[in-house]
Amino acid sequence: MNKYQALIQALNNCAAECNNCSTACLDEDHVKMMVNCIKLDMDCATICTATATLLSRNSAHGMHMMDECIEICTACAEECEKHADKHEHCKSCAVACRKCVEVCKNAM
């Protein structure tokens, strides 16, 4: 088992939630109001997937990505939380992002 397994799972879960949120935001009636959310979802999914991939290979570069993951996941969570009372997908995404930040910080 990879020593970063819990971290990889949190990163992959966050990426999946972000991908789901961005797609769901595109289906919202007022999609223009969701543009920042969609962009952050896409950035967050990308950084989480890249970091999980590096860590799954035990790459020495995986840990270098953690600060960026924490920064983008935090920004994504903050944006999604603005819409969480109206959109369940934003609420789920924010929770996954906050969990990912917590796991990343604990791994450092």
Tens of pLDDT along 6-32? 999 999 999 999 999 999 999 999 899
User: Any idea which residue has 């995404």 for tokens?
Assistant: 93
**57-101, pLDDT tens digit by residue?**
999 898 889 999 999 999 999 999 999 999 999 999 999 999 999
pLDDT for position 14: 98
CATH number at residue 67: 1.20.1270.360
User: According to the model, what pLDDT value does residue 3 have?
Assistant: 82
Q: What is the mean pLDDT of residues 41-53?
A: 98
> pLDDT tier at 1 (50, 70, 90 boundaries)?
low
Domain that holds residue 86: 5-107
Question: What's the number of domains the chain is made of?
Answer: 1
Q: Transcribe 45-96 into DSSP letters.
A: HHHHHHHHHHHHTT-TTTGGGHHHHHHHHHHHHHHHHHHTTT-HHHHHHHHH
Residue whose tokens read 């109206």: 86
pLDDT of res. 108: 85
